[in-house]
């Protein structure tokens, strides 16, 4: 591989160099996972994406997302930035006003509203923390592992880690 075209997209702004940048490689199918990881390390952005042919017929494209260190199943700003790059390149979605991205988390619906792109976030997956996770959180907060409690905020369906304040 001697040359590879990509776009650097400023997400969450219309002002150049003021957004959250993502590198988008629109021809990802010819690259191996190792090459994708190497390119992501080279761009040194928080994420670099690779637009590929979907494996699910309901999707318009498959997006692979890499940090400089590893691949992610999903991330919000790379999803928006990549959708923008796909549309800017001239892709016409089969359903007007809607893109469907396939990624490691499954299918993600993206609504096209003029210049704005709105995504439906995938359902989060929660797991119980391991003892070592719990110890690391407690150590980082300067409390004992017994002080860290699991909680849930039913208003927003978010699971929380709760550490009551105490005097030292």
Report pLDDT digits (tens) over 96-116. Answer: 999 999 999 999 999 999 989
State the Cα–Cα distance between residues 111 and 96, nearest whole angstrom. 9
State the Cα–Cα distance between residues 105 and 75, nearest whole angstrom. 10
Percentage of the chain lying above the pLDDT 70 cut: 87
What is the structure's pLDDT at 156? 54
pLDDT digits (tens, 9 = 90+) for 71-88: 999 999 999 999 999 999
Beta strands 98-103 and 106-113: pairing type?
antiparallel
Banded model confidence at residue 126, pLDDT cuts 50, 70, 90: confident
First-to-final CA distance of the chain: 59
Check if the beta carbon of residue 44 is closer than 8 Å to that of residue 23: no
Residue 150 above 80 pLDDT? no
Q: H/E element holding 24?
A: strand 20-25
- Whether the full predicted model's pTM is greater than 0.85, yes or no, is no
Buried b / exposed e across 49-64, counting CB within 10 Å, b at 16+? bbbbebeeeebbbbbb
| Residues acting as catalytic residues | 47
Residue 140's SS3 state is helix
| Of 65 and 130, the one with more pLDDT | 65
Mean pLDDT taken over the chain: 88
């Amino acid at each position: 591989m001697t040359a590879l075209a990509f776009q650097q997209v400023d997400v969450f702004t219309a002002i150049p160099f003021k957004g959250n940048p993502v590198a988008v490689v629109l021809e990802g199918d010819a690259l191996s996972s190792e090459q994708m990881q190497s390119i992501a390390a080279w761009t040194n952005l928080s994420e670099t994406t690779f637009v590929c042919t979907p494996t699910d017929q309901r999707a318009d494209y498959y997006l692979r997302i890499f940090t400089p260190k590893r691949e992610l199943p999903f991330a919000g700003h790379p999803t928006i930035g990549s959708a923008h790059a796909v549309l800017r390149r001239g892709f016409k979605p089969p359903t007007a006003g809607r893109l469907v991205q396939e990624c490691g988390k499954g299918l993600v619906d993206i609504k096209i509203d003029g210049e704005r792109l709105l995504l439906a976030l995938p359902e989060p997956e929660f797991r119980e923390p391991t003892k070592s996770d719990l110890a690391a959180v407690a150590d980082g907060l300067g409390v004992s592992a017994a002080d860290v409690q699991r909680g849930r905020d039913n208003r927003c369906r978010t699971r929380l880690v709760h550490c009551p304040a105490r005097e030292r």
